[in-house]
Amino acid sequence: MNDGIITPVMFFSACALDLIVGDPRWFPHPVIIIGRGINRMERAIRVYFSPGCFKTGGIILWVAVILTTYFATWGILTASCEIHWILGCVVTVMLASQTLAVRSLFQESKIVIDRLNAGRLDDARKALSMIVGRDTENLDKKGILRAVVETVSENLSDGIVAPMFYLLLGGVPLAMTYKAVNTLDSMVGYKNDHYRDIGYFSARMDDILNWIPARMTGFIVVIVSFFLGLNGKNAWRIMRRDSRNHPSPNSGVPEAAVAGALGVQLAGPMSYFGRMMEKPAIGDGIKSIDDGDVKMAWAIMFSSSGLMFIFCMIMMGCVV
């Protein structure tokens, strides 16, 4: 077994483990460890670099985190394989499953919906604030439903399709490195005054590495929409028309495809850190968003994950 390279059996096992177990809170998730490293390095850069050199410091931050993640992952897998090949397989599957987020994305979004359906609006808002970046304190039911559909559609690429893509391309070390790129962007890739310079490089690299997976995700959403009885033609039309309405060059692609498939309107004006931001709408809003649209967004998520799984297995030379 090549260290870190994932076989079809390991890939299948990792996907199954993610679906069955997800991200148990008792297990030290690699992204949390990566995040702690980013925090420490960011503080060091702000101490040892002058504000005028924060862009340079941001590049150093990105390179250091990426190299550390890749070689630490490779080292863990290599050491495991040298102890015993079975241990190497187990560690490979466990780490691979930690790059995926099918179960966790479903569970975290379902918590919001369960609280909303129980009439606990404030609790639903609090749960939503854990998975979105916008202000949630004043959202009504439709605003919460819209936010859930948006985060499911956006994270379909970042949390599922993209990690599978990089597992296929370069095994566990590359997939875990992708998670580090994603984490850097989510932690320092903001456009406000505090992060604009230090997070500039991280944000740009995240855009680059997500460009192909995001468009793969949009195309997959269009395909599964036909099988789910949704409006696949409209998903394709809205994806082509409105994908650029999102501030991110990538997140708007799957979000627009989902909006078109469901016939709802997403995005629009949102509040961030107490400031209202005017964002273009995505989708035509053929119908008002309701609980059924969240369930269909979940169906799109699971179906798209399955289609990407089949694609990866075929590329690995193992059709199941």
Do the Cβ atoms of 58 and 190 come closer than 8 Å? no
pTM of the model: 0.91
Q: What is the pLDDT of residue 320?
A: 42
User: Among 320, 318, 299, which Cα is nearest to 102's?
Assistant: 299
User: Among 192, 203, 293, 304, which Cα is nearest to 253's?
Assistant: 304
How far is 9 from 67, CA to CA, in rounded Å? 28
Alpha helices in 189-290 (DSSP H): 200-227, 232-242, 252-262
Q: What is the pLDDT of residue 54?
A: 87
For residue range 59-95, list pLDDT tens digits in order: 999 999 999 999 999 999 999 999 999 999 999 999 9
Per-residue model confidence as pLDDT tens for the chain (320 residues): 455 678 999 999 999 999 998 877 767 789 899 999 999 999 999 988 888 888 899 999 999 999 999 999 999 999 999 999 999 999 999 999 999 999 999 999 999 999 999 989 999 999 998 888 777 788 889 989 999 999 999 999 999 999 999 999 999 999 999 999 999 998 988 877 888 889 899 999 999 999 999 999 999 999 999 999 999 999 999 999 999 988 888 999 999 999 999 999 998 767 666 666 777 889 887 888 999 999 999 999 999 999 999 999 999 876 44
- Environment class of residue 282 by beta-carbon count within 10 Å: exposed (0-12), middle (13-18) or buried (19+)? buried
Do the Cβ atoms of 102 and 302 come closer than 8 Å? yes
Q: Is the dihedral of CA 51, 56, 59, 60 positive or negative?
A: negative
Quick one: which H or E segment has residue 282? Answer: strand 281-282
> How is the chain split into domains, by residue range?
8-315
User: Among 148, 101, 124, which Cα is nearest to 305's?
Assistant: 101
